[in-house]
């Protein structure tokens, strides 16, 4: 096809690459690549299809360009971001918003559209000069599916292209097969690492910007390398998808999807789950004996009256800190195999092997890490802080299908898997019981999902006991007003034939002495109780916010799955309902919502006020600390 950019693109591409574009017959794709080929001015542009040869070419170029380095084990590579480029840049990640919508988006980090566009295009001008760029086609969710969102990535970072090739499904063939009416509907990502230092790290971090245009489904990322700032298809795409789903009546959520395997009943039951960072999300998705569909982002649709889910991704971009043989045996085993794997911001020892914090391995005294090629024990940064062997946000990038517990059939299902249960888990030491079922979907969203918090610890953040609100475990990525987003979650299940049950979990409840009440493996018990409730196999005890397990059922589950004797004393303490704590929790949620969304629907606030009144009365009638079985709902629930 002809385009005003034809001559320009032919000058920067091989004939083969240009023909890969032309055969798509997609004017919007051609204009996107042409516009930024002209503006960012790379020396060459390579266009990838879905072939194994192009996948290998990306891997080879990542090494050739010095963005990744081979490790001792075949297939493993290591990448370093600059010392100041180790996490998502929340300050400079902004929504570009049309002037008429600025007030509506006031609580989200936004910039006026034309102002933001002028700034980011200024940084993008000639930002790829002298570099070799790559164009890759991907899709979020399975290709040729009702869930599919096609995506185009244009980047001068072969590490970014390599990461995305591991993490996402290739979609060149999908683009070739798109009908004429579909050809305008895809996400676009333009990324440049910008000027780089002698280690290949972005030099101009003061000009690091990640600007998202949800109105036109394009994300600009300039002068950044850390994957959370540069890999467009992950959290950048998620923000676009949350906005798109809100307009179209489906959901994009920060959730894993997993299958709970009940061997006795010969069945698998699918759960989705949302947990803020460091609250047990990955460890829940990877519970031994269960199977995983996806660990991070899910799309949900109403398919023929059923609540269906797909995993958006095909890989894991996981935090590697504290991954060891004891706590994460499946992941740890894979990190030590000869297979394609990118380690980022860990230590490369003199033996050319990777080492990270909390690995349980004996670690070298010197090597290369995120601080430079001359790390040694005791090395300090410019501020006098001692630099550890690896950064606390070090990562690994790997394919999901490496895992022995990978549910390939569920992953490949083009119409998704049917979700029967949804889990919401935060971190608090004194309020939420280990597992509770919500009385309804609406209550599940308002009392479980919207009230999620993560409690800080003095050891990690310097201020113990601070409750950080994290509604839906999605607050960093919600791309339109919070109240509207919440109502879309509530309304999503209307007209469904069967609505999933909603459960809360809390793995971090502490004893009066300050110890955790249960160990990490107890989450298998809470999951299987929830699975039994989904299938009507357990009775439950009412509380002012839902329904909790009977002691006898948990005792049997602890013995069956963990071979542990679970005592009545433990159960009574863990499942005591603490009225004052819950009232305070709901008041915090009200304050946060009204702060974040000044037009928060009255429906939400009124429901919380009703819940506060109910809990307050329960405290008056049954005591402020209600023991399991000590509360009566007056016959108004189906326990």
Which positions are annotated as active-site residues?
Answer: 279
Strand order across the beta sheet in which 69-70 lies: 69-70, 76-79, 341-344, 395-399, 315-319
d(CA 478, CA 546): 27
- Of the candidates 392, 332, 317, the one whose C-alpha atom is nearest the C-alpha of residue 163 is 317
CA angle 227, 474, 304 (to 5 degrees): 105
Cα pseudo-dihedral 17, 23, 25, 26, rounded to 10: -40
CA distance linking residue 480 with residue 597, whole number of Å: 10
| Phi and psi, residue 467, nearest 5° | -95, 110
Report residue 352 as tokens.
């050319």
Q: Which residue has the tokens 């090494």?
A: 63
DSSP 20: H
Question: Of 420, 141, 122, whose CA–CA distance to 271 is shortest?
Answer: 420
What gap in Å lies between CA 595 and CA 589, rounded to an integer?
10
- As a whole number of angstroms, the distance between CA 212 and CA 236 comes to 7
β-pairing, 366-369 with 347-349?
Answer: antiparallel
Sign of CA dihedral 198, 199, 203, 209: positive
What is the Cα gyration radius of the chain? 25
- State both tokens at 8: 């320009």
**Phi and psi, residue 574, nearest 5°:** -70, -30
Token representation of residue 257 = 């999807």
Burial class (CB in 10 A: 0-12, 13-18, 19+), 385: exposed
Taking alpha carbons only, the member of 226, 208, 233 closest to residue 391 is: 226
Residues 6 or more apart whose Cβ sits within 8 Å of residue 163: 227, 231, 317, 342, 397
Query: Considering all CA atoms of the chain, what is the largest pairwise distance in Å, rounded to the nearest integer?
Result: 80
Alpha helices in 506-578 (DSSP H): 523-534, 551-562, 568-574
Calculate the dihedral angle through the C-alpha atoms of 515, 518, 521, 523, rounding to the nearest 10 degrees. -120
Exposure class string for 534-573: b at 16+ Cβ within 10 A, else e: beeebebbbbbbbbbbbbebbbebbeebeebebeeebbeb
Detail the DSSP E strand segments found in 350-405. Answer: 354-355, 366-369, 372-376, 395-399
Nearest 10 degrees: Cα torsion 215, 220, 224, 229: 20
DSSP per residue, 572-635: HHHT-EEHHHHHHHHHHHHHHHHHH-TT--HHHHHHHHHHHHHHHHHHHHH-SEEPTT----TT
Q: Which of 117, 115, 97 is nearest to 107 (CA)?
A: 97
What is the rounded CA–CA span in Å between residue 228 and residue 134? Answer: 19
d(CA 129, CA 44) in angstroms, rounded, equals: 9
């Amino acid at each position: 096809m002809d385009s005003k950019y034809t001559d320009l693109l032919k000058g920067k591409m091989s004939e083969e690459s240009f023909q890969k574009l032309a055969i798509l017959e997609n004017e919007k794709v051609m204009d996107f690549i042409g516009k930024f080929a002209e503006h960012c001015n790379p020396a060459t542009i390579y266009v990838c299809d879905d072939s194994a040869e192009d996948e290998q070419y990306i891997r080879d170029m990542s090494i050739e360009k010095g963005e990744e380095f081979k490790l001792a084990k075949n297939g493993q590579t290591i990448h370093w971001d600059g010392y100041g480029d180790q996490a998502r840049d929340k300050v400079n990640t902004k929504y570009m918003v049309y002037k008429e919508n600025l007030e509506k988006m006031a609580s989200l980090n936004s910039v006026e559209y034309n102002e933001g566009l002028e700034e980011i295009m200024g940084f993008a001008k000639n930002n790829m000069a002298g570099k070799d760029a790559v164009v890759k086609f991907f899709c979020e969710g399975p290709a040729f599916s009702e869930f599919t969102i096609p995506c185009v990535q244009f980047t001068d970072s072969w590490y970014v292209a390599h990461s995305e090739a591991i993490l996402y499904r290739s979609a060149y063939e999908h683009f070739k097969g798109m009908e004429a009416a579909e050809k305008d509907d895809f996400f676009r990502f333009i990324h440049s690492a910008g000027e780089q230092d002698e280690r290949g790290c972005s030099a101009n971090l003061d000009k690091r910007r990640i600007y998202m245009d949800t109105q036109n489904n394009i994300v600009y990322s300039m002068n950044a390398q850390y994957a959370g700032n540069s890999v467009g298809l992950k959290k950048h795409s998620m923000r676009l998808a949350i906005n798109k789903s809100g307009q179209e009546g489906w959901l994009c959520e920060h959730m894993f999807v997993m299958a709970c395997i009940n061997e006795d009943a010969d069945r698998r039951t699918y759960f989705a789950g949302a947990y803020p960072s460091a609250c047990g999300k990955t460890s829940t998705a990877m519970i031994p004996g269960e199977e995983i569909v996806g660990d991070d982002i899910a799309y949900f649709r109403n398919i023929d009256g059923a609540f269906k889910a797909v995993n958006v991704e095909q890989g894991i971009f996981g935090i590697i800190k504290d991954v060891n043989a004891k706590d994460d045996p499946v992941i740890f085993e894979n990190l030590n195999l000869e297979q394609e794997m990118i380690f980022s911001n860990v230590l490369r020892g003199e033996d050319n092997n990777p080492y990270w914090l909390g690995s349980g391995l004996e670690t070298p005294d010197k090597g290369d890490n995120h601080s430079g090629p001359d790390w040694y024990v005791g090395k300090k940064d410019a501020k006098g802080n001692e630099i550890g062997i690896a950064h606390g946000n070090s990562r690994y990038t790997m394919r999901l299908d490496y895992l022995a517990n990978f549910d390939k059939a569920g992953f490949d299902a083009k119409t998704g898997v049917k979700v029967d249960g949804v889990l919401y888990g935060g971190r608090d030491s004194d309020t939420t019981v280990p597992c509770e079922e919500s009385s309804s979907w609406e209550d599940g969203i308002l009392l479980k999902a919207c009230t999620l918090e993560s409690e800080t610890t003095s050891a990690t953040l310097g201020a113990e006991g601070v409750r950080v609100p994290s509604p839906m475990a999605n607050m960093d990525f919600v791309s339109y007003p919070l109240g509207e987003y919440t109502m879309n979650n509530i309304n999503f299940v209307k007209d469904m034939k069967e609505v999933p049950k909603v459960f809360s979990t809390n793995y971090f409840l502490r004893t009066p002495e300050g110890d955790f009440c249960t160990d990490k493996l107890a989450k298998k018990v809470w999951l299987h109780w929830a699975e039994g409730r989904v299938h009507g196999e357990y009775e439950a005890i009412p509380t002012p916010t839902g329904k909790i397990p009977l002691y006898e059922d948990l005792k049997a589950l602890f013995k069956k799955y963990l071979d542990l004797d679970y005592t009545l004393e433990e159960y009574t303490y863990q499942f005591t309902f603490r009225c004052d704590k819950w009232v305070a929790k709901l008041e915090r949620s009200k304050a946060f919502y009204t702060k974040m969304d000044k037009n928060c629907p009255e429906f939400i606030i009124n429901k919380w006020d009703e819940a506060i009144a109910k809990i307050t009365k329960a405290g008056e009638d049954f005591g402020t600390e209600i023991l399991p079985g000590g509360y009566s709902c007056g016959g108004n629930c189906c326990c």
